[in-house]
Structure 1
Amino acid sequence: MKKEINYLVDMYRDAYYPDFLVDKVKEAIKAVEHFLETETYTTESVQYKLDAMTEKINDLTEEFYAHDSEIETVARESIADTVFLVLEAYKIDIDIEEAIRNRDW
């Protein structure tokens, strides 16, 4: 049984990040987790899903700006920490920098 993952803790704690946008980031990460729970995968297919997740988060940049927020240091670390926990929970051996290699943030 995998351990419980607390998603994007620092982003949810900080009012600078609108919860509805943090929820969208969480949904992108949870899509990877759903893939890991329901599909047979290889390291390459997991990286493909991580790349798609990162692109979805990249696409939120303008929406964060529109709400006087941005994906900056605290957000980057919170996203990376959460993705790391997902990879660890499923025993996926992908370095976190590689996992989120396509980030614009």
Structure 2
Amino acid sequence: MTISHRIGNREVAEHPFLQGLYADPYFPDEILDRGRAVLWRLCERIEDERPSDLTALYALTHAATEEFNRLEAEFEAAGSEIETVARDEIAEDFWFVASSYGFADADVEELIATRDW
């Protein structure tokens, strides 16, 4: 499934965000869809704003991480949570986004530094 016609980076547009979590029934698809939308919006913002350095990129990824923070309550209400497997999958997708837009030197922990999960 491709994301949005607004995404110009073909590699990103074709990436199956959160794929490993969709395979596990512990994570509700409807909430994962919201998480995937967070990542798509992050990509759109990167393409629109074109961050010139890691500081600018981190500002965008921190905002997206805050959106994931708000999803945690939805996961919990559905009997799930953003636990170790989910944290790793989400972090990997954040790093994929950063590296796909030319920031392969981004620190994955800094990309999601504002997380509370």
Deviations 1:43-62 (A, max 9, x none): 22211111111111011111
The equivalent residue for 2:3 is none
* TM-score, normalising length: structure 2: 0.83
Greater than 6 Å deviation, 4+ residue runs = none
Aligned partner letter, 2:83 = E
Q: Looking at both structures, which has the greater relative contact order when contacts are Cα pairs under 8 Å and sequence separation is at least 6?
A: 1
Distance 1:37 1:23 in 2: 21
Matched AA of 1:28: V
Residues 6-57 of structure 1: CA distance to partner in whole angstroms, max 9, x if unpaired?
2011111111111110111111111111012222322222111111111110
- For structure 2, which runs of at least 5 residues remain unmatched after alignment? 1-8
Q: 2:22 and 2:100 mapped to 1: Cα distance?
A: 21
Counterpart of 2:109 in structure 1 is: 97
Instruction: State the TM-score, normalized to the length of structure 1.
Output: 0.91
AA at the equivalent of 2:20:
D
Q: Percent identity?
A: 36
Structure 1 unmatched ranges of 5 or more: none
Aligned length: 105
Map residues 64-79 of structure 1 onto 2, 5 A cutoff: 64-79=75-90
